[in-house]
Amino acid sequence: MRTLVARLDNDGDVLLAGPAVRAAAASGEVVVLCGPNGRRAAALLPGVDRVVHWHCPWIAHPAGEFSPADVEALLPVLAELRVDVALVLTSFHQSPLPLALLLKLAGVPKVVARSVDYAGSLLDVRLRDDPDVPEADRALSVARAAGFELPPGDDGRLRVDAPEPPFPGPYLVVHPGASVPARTWSPDRCAQAVRALTEAGHRVLVTGGPGETALTARVAGAHGVDLGGRTTFAELAGVLRGADAVVVGNTGPAHLAVAVGTPVVSLFAPVVPAARWAPHGRHVLLGDQSAPCRDTRARECPVPGHPCLDDVTPAEVVAVVTELTGVRA
């Protein structure tokens, strides 16, 4: 049995597909089809035999120009995989049907997905409901609808193959960035939190990607250790694995932290529902979940002052870190 698991957006989304991948892997080989921004996470998922990445013009943001040639080039790749079944995993606002059409054109005999829209013969198994459950559970339900189940002893938590921590503990991690600006605590608030955590006796590492070095330097200041742009995604997993807790917004490293068993202080903007997107592991949620931006899916904060997150004080973060420190999944 060879199964294709498709999740075409970002690293965090791919991490949330992990339990579904492991369920499929219990019955044979698994190929993950992901976007370019998800391949780093796919490479860390247990149960993955091969990763294929493709920039999907109806999922990726920014989408770029639609190219018929790019879509046509995917068909022989899908056909060459010779999969027996495909699981198309999407968020509630995404449609699985365009990819289902391509899979059928490539000769995939069985395609399973969740779709509130009529799918005709594009889906062989169609889940019609859209439950307000954690995204990882939602993805796992698609795998179960295809006949897959987690192996005995697998509790369905997020999991990755992470390296050993590169630094001795104890330490905390503050990760200030996110791909969506509306989901970030302001840099000044993050910098104040790093100072407050340091004054409370913690060693604080500040992490970020290559494009976030100015942000991490500002947030680390004279108090934190700036690791911005200095780790690969896999190395970041090791750093998070060694932390006592991680302070982070709604972004991929939040899911990566719980996947390595580290508790999360989640600064969660309600532009998407926490019931679906909060870290799928031990966490404490901070932020006004009833703010006016709730469920807007806004990428830029629509409310002056960004009150849903910036009303959270560094003292609150210190108190929650004190509650979580030393508690590991």
Contact of 161 with 46, CB cutoff 8 Å? yes
Whether 329 shows a pLDDT value over 80: the answer reads no
Looking at residue 326, its pLDDT comes to: 56
Which 8-state DSSP code applies to residue 314? Answer: H
Residues of the chain above pLDDT 70, percent: 99
**For 71-91, what is each residue's pLDDT tens digit?**
999 999 999 999 999 999 999
**For 202-241, what is each residue's pLDDT tens digit?**
999 999 999 999 999 999 999 999 999 999 999 999 999 9
Looking at residue 327, its pLDDT comes to: 46
Q: What's the predicted TM-score (pTM) here?
A: 0.95
Residue of 312, 259, 316 whose CA lies nearest to 282: 259
State the DSSP string of 29-64.
EEEEEE-TTTHHHHTTSTT--EEEE---TTTSSS--
Half-sphere exposure of 47 (CA within 13 A, CB side): 25
Looking at residue 248, its pLDDT comes to: 98
Q: Most distant CA pair in the chain: distance in Å?
A: 61
Residue of 11, 23, 38 whose CA lies nearest to 151: 23
| 312-325 average pLDDT score | 94
Copy the structure tokens of residue 198. 């340091």
**For 21-42, what is each residue's pLDDT tens digit?**
999 999 999 999 999 999 999 9
Residues for the chain: how many in total?
Answer: 329
* Residue 60 banded pLDDT, cuts 50, 70, 90: confident
How far apart are the C-alpha atoms of 149 and 171, rounded to whole Å? 37
CATH architecture of structural domain 172-324: 3-Layer(aba) Sandwich (3.40)
Q: Where are the domains of the chain?
A: 2-145, 172-324
Coil, strand, or helix at residue 170? coil
Copy the structure tokens of residue 113. 């997905």
Residue of 275, 274, 273, 246 whose CA lies nearest to 259: 246
Looking at residue 237, its pLDDT comes to: 98
| 177-199 average pLDDT score | 95
CATH 3.40.50.2000, domain 2-145, yes or no: yes
Looking at residue 222, its pLDDT comes to: 97
Rounded to 5 degrees, what are φ and ψ at 2? -120, 125
Q: To the nearest whole number, what is the mean pLDDT of the chain?
A: 95
Residues of the chain above pLDDT 90, percent: 92
Looking at residue 328, its pLDDT comes to: 47
| 263-273 average pLDDT score | 96
Does residue 62 have a cis bond before it (omega within 30 degrees)? yes
How far apart are the C-alpha atoms of 64 and 71, rounded to whole Å? 13
Looking at residue 77, its pLDDT comes to: 97
**For 124-134, what is each residue's pLDDT tens digit?**
999 998 888 99
Tell me, rounded to whole angstroms, the distance of Cα 114 from its chain centroid.
Answer: 19
172-324 matches 2-145 in CATH topology: yes
Kindly give the residue spans of alpha helices, DSSP state H, lying in the chain.
11-16, 18-25, 39-42, 68-81, 97-105, 135-145, 187-199, 213-220, 233-242, 252-259, 274-277, 307-310, 314-324
